[in-house]
Each structure stands twice: as structure tokens, then as C-alpha cells.
A and B are shown apart, each in its own frame.
Chain A
């Protein structure tokens, strides 16, 4: 591929153990921070006694709600966060008292010495119960426990169902998935009167973190600096976190740096997992398998505070409608407060959850009509040039090609003659490349391009690399624009005091948003460099192979850089460019074109089920993606395989099990993520057609990689055992119960 570049990256230092994550960074005089947490799902705080804790030698700060600002704040428009709990605790793990001490031993002693007296209150633990009259109220400001209520209808859904030849549906539930980042949550905070707060926090949306934390303390934003060390995995877990706020509060109180690094237990206890959804779904179709209507009611468990659950709910209620032609669509979404730890997003962001239900029901319609699952999808998918029912403008879409290729590569025709207990399942997925609804004020990205002294080009971005290869992709884009070696490009990001503003790495934004900004900045740098060189060397200058050619003479970029500095008082040649996509903010009606480019995927999973134990093994997997033009093939394949692996874990083994508000499996032994033996060989292919809006035709791939995966696995299991699992995960016991017709009637 002519447009591919091999890119160097930070991988070498990761392999050599040289990368310093937040837990590897120390400041002189740092204190150990920790939190006394609620053991109850819902309780009134009767008394907090910290005197014994304060008396322990080495304890430098003990904070209660009375010692910190009490105003409500939050990272979204729902302002329901505090710094420490004052009157009530709302979930197991809710923060009551914060301590900083000179040693871990003193910290542990102090945490144990804090005495909190609680009066237990009835807890509400299920979204549907939260909506019932008389349910315990989680936040007095929201007496109905429903911070978000989606109501949406396009077309006449009742009429569509009235004329249907076939209707299938049911209740589907998705599980409480822990993001499973290998690096536990950690933070290092420092305060000085002159500079304000500096927080070393692995956040991939550091500017939103800055805004949120400034609001928490009533500080101007320029008094809060977020420095982002390399992030040891997030998948949605490390956006904006109370741990960062509490470490900052301790640093301000103790006037010393405070480090707070969770162990796995605390990380899991305080985890903000995927929003578990309960989905009542019906899809209507005609006799030829053409969809006529889709009707969903969704209940989402937000937990006791709002993180990104509203975005997840909105995505679940709408996104699959831009994958298939459903005819008329109706969605009602109830996002409910409960006395669980707040839930949030994970890769896939509500779409993968809803696709599990949608793709399952589509297979049931196909079964009911005797139509092949691939064929029924071909009859209903969206195609290039269409504007979808919610206004998505599909200027590129190779979904049909993906589906046909996935069927061919997987040997889909075998499905008719598989051995017993084997199954093949297909599922599709779509996503966005940046989503206008993430921030109501603006969308886009800004990059700085600078010609360094040494002739290399430095790119600054506000987006954050999570190991997905973003920096390498940006380097490739800049190198291609400037026609220089990719090794001559350095990409920097991760410090709100130094680098341009960025909305951050979420909603599959980085390739298209940041990538377009980098492309614009590189183009402008090239243009300004050419203008300057023309003034220096003559009108005939050309930038070729990293060298300025003029009149038969070659001038290195280092020489041009030196000349520029000599003319401009030592300054360097630098440009700043913003990419602003032409997208629509999805308002209350969720209508509009929210993203410049939509990626698509078709996945086929093959499973083998042990009918006596219910144990499922995924034995084959084929993923065909429309990610536009692939700029960094190794990274793109890595995103797809990684997404598929997470999808396999999600569908077959992972679940944070809660009972009475307590998570019961707080370890990586009992929260099972897939090991190397659980992932089959994954065949990854791309159908590469340029998207007109992506940088060099590229679209996103990170989230669409997981979107179809749980559904593909679930469909394969249904094909293998002849029974439909509607509740994730399809653990051995669940599958065994399905086989023994004992699936609970819900």
C-alpha cells in the first residue's frame, strides 16, 4: 500500500521496562494518600470521628466533608459529584474521609482508626425499582431517580408492527463489565500557591479533568495543570476520577505532594464499570425479511453519580438505527440512579450492548423466516451515500463488502453442515469517528507543528495516546504531508499547561479529529516553510525528501531552522491549526450528523460448546472492517484483535457480580478476563475505500472493533445449541441452564 508508513513509537521503551507510569514517579516529600470508604450501599452518616487518626504519628492530613469545598460539580452537565460524603453515603466505596501520611503503615493505621457511625437506609439497587413510587431517593435534587429519560420515535412504529409478518424480541440484559486496565488507578498531586494544582493523572481527557477539578475547588482553570504519564490501559475507566480530586484535596491541605495508587482490590471496589442495561426489544419484519420497525425500552443503572452513563444511554437508544434500515424506530431510555458504584463507559459505549440485543433478534427473525442470517442482513444494511434515519451522512460505507468478505473468509456456507455443538454467528457494527455530542460547545482538534533546531518536526496535540498507536499515526500523517521520514517527526501530548486544548481520546476521535488537525498543521508548516525558504533561497525552492532544494543546492531542514531562528530573534517556525468538522450537535431529538466519518465492521465467530458442561470455546473468528484507508496497519490490526478479545471475555466470562450493593468478586481470579488460551486466531481484513473526511481517507477502528463481538459470539452459541441466551455473560452455567431448559423466565 502506497500510503502506508512504518512508524516508530514508544513501544521499544515499553518492551524494555523503561516506560514510567504514574506509580513509577515519585516526588520528594510525597505522602501516601488513602480513603475511608462506605461499607454500606446507602446510609446516613451519624458521626465521623477522626481524632484518633489525626493523633497517629506521620499523619499529615485528615479530611472530612467539612474540610473541603462542598459545592456540587461533575464532568458532564449533571453536577452530582462531591469531594467527600457529608450527610449520606450512596454506595459501597463512597468516599467519607481522606488521609495523607508519611508512610504506608501510618496511612493504614490512620484509615483503620477513623470511626464512622452509620444509620442504614434502604437501598435501591435495580433501575426498574428506582422508578417505582416510594423508592428510596438517591439524590434529593432528582426525586424520580431518573437523571435522563430518552423518548424518541421516527416513523409510525405502531403501524409498522401492525402490518408485520413476523415480530421477534424479548428482554436482554448486559453485564457489569470491568474495564480491566492492567495498571490500577493512580495519581500524584502537588499544590503550590504560585502554580496551583499539578496533578499527574493518567486521564485520556485531561482538559475535561482540568475543567472538572478546577470547578471542584473553585479555582480558575489556569491554576490546575494535568500532566498525563503513559497510561497502562483504560478502555473508558480513566476519564475523570474522584481519586484525582481527593489526592488534590490532600495535597492542598498537607502542602506536600500526595500519591495515591490503588491496589487491585481498591481499584475493583471503586470501579466504574460498563452501564448494565436491561433492554426490552421488538423488531418487526415483512415476509421477505425486510425490517419494518424497531421498538426498544432500555433501563440503565447509572449507579449513584453520573459519569458517562447518559452518553452510553443515548448511544444505545440510537446508534444501531444507523446500521440497518429498521423502518420506523422508537426508543425509550430510563437512566436511573441506584446505590451502586457509578457506572460509566467502556469501549463500545452502549452500541455494543444494544447490538447484542439487535443482532440476536435479527437472527431470530432470520430463523423464523428461514432466511440465512447473512442474507437477511444484506437486505437491511445501510450503504454509502445514504442519510440514515437519525441524520448520519454516510459519505463512505463498505458494510456490504465487509459482510460478504466475512462470510467468504469464514466459510459461512459450512454453517448448514457443522458438526454437533459447533456454531457460527455473524454480527455487524458501526461507530463514529468523534461524536459531536461529547461536548455541547465545540468539536474538533488542534495541533501545533514546529520545525525544531535539529531539522525534525515536532507535533503537539491535545489528544492522548493510550498505546493504540495514535502518536505513530500522527507522525505518519505529518511525515506524509511534509514528505519527510517518519523518524523525523516527534509527537507530544499529555500536559494541559504545554500542549493545545483537546477534547481527548474518546468516541473513537483520535484518528479523524486529531489526525485531521495534524494534517492541517503539517500542511501549514509546509506552506510557511516554503514561503520562508523562498525568501532565503529563491522562488524555485522545493521540499523533497526532507531537504530544501533550490538552484541545484540542497539545504537541510536543520539549516533552514537555524536560518529562521537567526531572522526571528531565536524563535522557531511554528504553526497552529484547528480542524473543525462539519457536524451537528444531536439535540433532544437526536437528529443530525454527529460525526465526520462512520466506520463499519462485520464479524463472524465460530464456537464449540461442551453440551454437558456448557463451557464455550471460541474456536475461530473473522473480522472484516471498513476503517477507510488504514494508516498504521499493525496498530489497526492490534485494535481489532484486542477489541475482539474483550468482546469474547464480555460475552462468555466477565461480570462484576453485585449482591446487596456489594461486589462479590473483587479479584482478577474471580473476575475472569480472557487468558491467551481463550482467544482463537483472529483473522482481520480491511476493505479500504477512502473516506472523504478522514485524514488521507482514514476512519476510526478502536471501538467498532468490539461492537459486533458479543453479538457474534452469542449468535454462534445460539447456532451451536439451538437456544438463545439473552443474558450476558453466557458463562458455562448459563449455557448449561439453557441446554437444560432452565433459563430463568424473566
Chain B
């Protein structure tokens, strides 16, 4: 069976667990629907060419740049933006590490980096080294920090999670540490 949405036939979206129906051009980039229709302005527009990563969101748990994603491609999938992620406890842990390390200056790239790092730190194989984190962030540009503080913050979260899980097997943490 095929699902076909004509123009102005609504596209069902599920953003941060909330369902809504979008009506409009199916090719409209998701980032514009998030910002201009749903009012989720935490997702930023930096380049519209997929280079800067400021518009990163999670699509079924995987980071994607929402400027290159036609809204129809997000139909019936789970989209998570920084507004959804920030409600989760692991986000607070990363945010605390970022703030302590000085991982955000002007802040414009920051939500995209938080989304990417959140996904990386919850993955089955989270980054273990600065080079790993830098690899994860290849699609996120930051002009202020020089990245060092961001890499340090991510590794601090990994360290905390490792410390929390290593001594007693029962240590619960939301970050995978395999």
C-alpha cells in the first residue's frame, strides 16, 4: 500500500512526542515548519546547505540536518528537537558540563551541537576520545569556541557515566558507556 500525500493533504508530524497535521508544500524544509509553523525556534538556520549543523534534529533518534529534509520525509516519524531533548535528564548533565567548560559563547550553533552530542552520548558506542567527539561533530560548525571546550564537555559526560557505572553494576545512567 502506498501512502501518497497530495499538496494540501495534511502530513502527520510527531515532534517531541506531540502529533500535529501540517498542511502545505511537502517539499518545505522541516526546519521552516518547526520554526515558523510549530514555533520551535530552538532549531536554528545557519546555512541551508547542510554544512553548519545549527538545524540538527533527531529523526527516529538519528541526527539529521532539518534544512535538507523536506517535511514530507518526516511524516509519521519521530522528530525530536532541542525543545524535546531538554526535558530529559541526560540533557541536563550535558548542559551542566557544557556550561562549566565554556562550551557555548554566542550560542547560535549550540542547540544543534547539543542535539548531535545527545545522540552520540546515548548511542551504543559513545565517543571515548576527543578525536571521536570531533568526528561526531564534523557536521557542526562553531565559530566562537574553537571546539576544545565542547569536546571537553562531552568527554566529561562520558567520564561521569563511566564512573557511575564502573564500580557497581547497578549504577544507572542514561548514557550508554559500552
A/B: CB atoms within 8 Å of each other: yes
Q: Can you name 12 extra interface pairs (CB under 8 A) apart from A23-B44, A643-B146, A667-B51?
A: A11-B104, A14-B107, A15-B95, A17-B43, A19-B107, A467-B107, A634-B100, A645-B146, A668-B47, A673-B141, A676-B135, A676-B147
Among all A-B residue pairs, the 4 with the closest Cβ atoms: A17-B42, A14-B107, A232-B108, A645-B146
* A182-B134 in contact (CB<8A): no
B interface bracket (residues with beta carbon within 8 Å of A) = 35 or more
Q: Does B131 contact A (CB under 8 A)?
A: yes
Give a binary string over A245-283; 1 marks a CB under 8 Å from any B CB, 0 the rest.
000000000000000000111000000000000000000
Give a binary string over A337-354; 1 marks a CB under 8 Å from any B CB, 0 the rest.
000000000000000000
User: Which of B41, B54, B95 is the most central at the interface, judged by chain A CB atoms within 10 Å of its CB?
Assistant: B41
* A638-B145 in contact (CB<8A): yes
Nearest-neighbor residue (CB-CB) of A648 within chain B: B146
Q: How far is the CA of A637 from the CA of B148 in the complex (A)?
A: 10
Give a binary string over B42-57; 1 marks a CB under 8 Å from any A CB, 0 the rest.
1111111101101000
CB distance from B71 to the nearest CB of A (A): 16
- Determine the chain B residues whose CB is within 8 A of the CB of A230 once the complex forms: 106-107
Q: Does B72 contact A (CB under 8 A)?
A: no
User: Which of B83, B95, B110 is the most central at the interface, judged by chain A CB atoms within 10 Å of its CB?
Assistant: B110
- Determine the chain B residues whose CB is within 8 A of the CB of A17 once the complex forms: 41-43, 81-83, 86, 110-111, 114
- Determine the chain B residues whose CB is within 8 A of the CB of A19 once the complex forms: 107
How many contacts between A and B, using CB within 8 angstroms?
169
Q: Does A677 contact B (CB under 8 A)?
A: yes
Q: How far is the CA of A231 from the CA of B43 in the complex (A)?
A: 16
- Determine the chain A residues whose CB is within 8 A of the CB of B95 once the complex forms: 12, 15-16
* B130-A681 in contact (CB<8A): yes
Q: Does A31 contact B (CB under 8 A)?
A: no
* A467-B146 in contact (CB<8A): no
Q: Does A641 contact B (CB under 8 A)?
A: yes
Query: Could you list 6 A-B pairs, sorted by A, with CB under 8 Å?
Result: A12-B99, A16-B42, A264-B48, A638-B145, A645-B146, A682-B146
Q: How far is the CA of A172 from the CA of B40 in the complex (A)?
A: 48
Q: How far is the CA of A264 from the CA of B44 in the complex (A)?
A: 12
B-facing residues in A233-248 (Cβ within 8 Å): 233-235
* B110-A641 in contact (CB<8A): no
- Determine the chain A residues whose CB is within 8 A of the CB of B103 once the complex forms: 15
Q: How far is the CA of A15 from the CA of B111 in the complex (A)?
A: 6
B-facing residues in A663-704 (Cβ within 8 Å): 667-669, 673, 675-677, 679, 681-682
Q: Does B89 contact A (CB under 8 A)?
A: no
* B99-A15 in contact (CB<8A): yes
- Determine the chain A residues whose CB is within 8 A of the CB of B114 once the complex forms: 15-17
Q: Does B13 contact A (CB under 8 A)?
A: no
Nearest-neighbor residue (CB-CB) of A182 within chain B: B108
* A679-B146 in contact (CB<8A): yes
* B133-A233 in contact (CB<8A): no
Q: How far is the CA of A646 from the CA of B141 in the complex (A)?
A: 12
* A677-B134 in contact (CB<8A): yes
Q: Does B105 contact A (CB under 8 A)?
A: yes
Selected from B43, B106, B147, B150, the residue in CB contact (under 8 A) with A183 is B106
User: Which of A18, A180, A681 is the most central at the interface, judged by chain B CB atoms within 10 Å of its CB?
Assistant: A18
Nearest-neighbor residue (CB-CB) of A232 within chain B: B108
Give a binary string over A165-183; 1 marks a CB under 8 Å from any B CB, 0 the rest.
0000000000000011111
CB distance from A228 to the nearest CB of B (A): 13
Q: Does B58 contact A (CB under 8 A)?
A: no
Nearest-neighbor residue (CB-CB) of B40 within chain A: A17
Give a binary string over A621-645; 1 marks a CB under 8 Å from any B CB, 0 the rest.
0000000000000110110011111
Q: How far is the CA of A634 from the CA of B98 in the complex (A)?
A: 11
* A180-B143 in contact (CB<8A): yes
CB distance from B152 to the nearest CB of A (A): 10
* A642-B52 in contact (CB<8A): no
Q: Does A468 contact B (CB under 8 A)?
A: yes
Q: Does B21 contact A (CB under 8 A)?
A: no
Selected from B104, B143, B150, the residue in CB contact (under 8 A) with A14 is B104
Q: Does B162 contact A (CB under 8 A)?
A: no
- With A17-B82, A669-B49 as known contacts, state yes or no: A11 contacts B99, CB within 8 Å: yes
- With A16-B95, A181-B143, A183-B44 as known contacts, state yes or no: A682 contacts B148, CB within 8 Å: yes
Q: How far is the CA of A677 from the CA of B135 in the complex (A)?
A: 7
- Determine the chain A residues whose CB is within 8 A of the CB of B107 once the complex forms: 10-11, 14-15, 19, 230, 232, 467
Q: Does B138 contact A (CB under 8 A)?
A: yes
Selected from B42, B54, B130, the residue in CB contact (under 8 A) with A182 is B54
* B143-A233 in contact (CB<8A): yes
Nearest-neighbor residue (CB-CB) of B140 within chain A: A676
Nearest-neighbor residue (CB-CB) of A644 within chain B: B146
- With A180-B143, A264-B49, A669-B51 as known contacts, state yes or no: A14 contacts B110, CB within 8 Å: yes
B-facing residues in A168-227 (Cβ within 8 Å): 179-184
Q: How far is the CA of A675 from the CA of B100 in the complex (A)?
A: 22
Q: Does B149 contact A (CB under 8 A)?
A: yes
* A668-B52 in contact (CB<8A): yes
Q: Does B101 contact A (CB under 8 A)?
A: yes
CB distance from B85 to the nearest CB of A (A): 9
Q: Does A466 contact B (CB under 8 A)?
A: yes
Q: Does A21 contact B (CB under 8 A)?
A: yes
Q: How far is the CA of A43 from the CA of B130 in the complex (A)?
A: 52
User: Which of A11, A17, A263 is the most central at the interface, judged by chain B CB atoms within 10 Å of its CB?
Assistant: A17
* B148-A641 in contact (CB<8A): yes
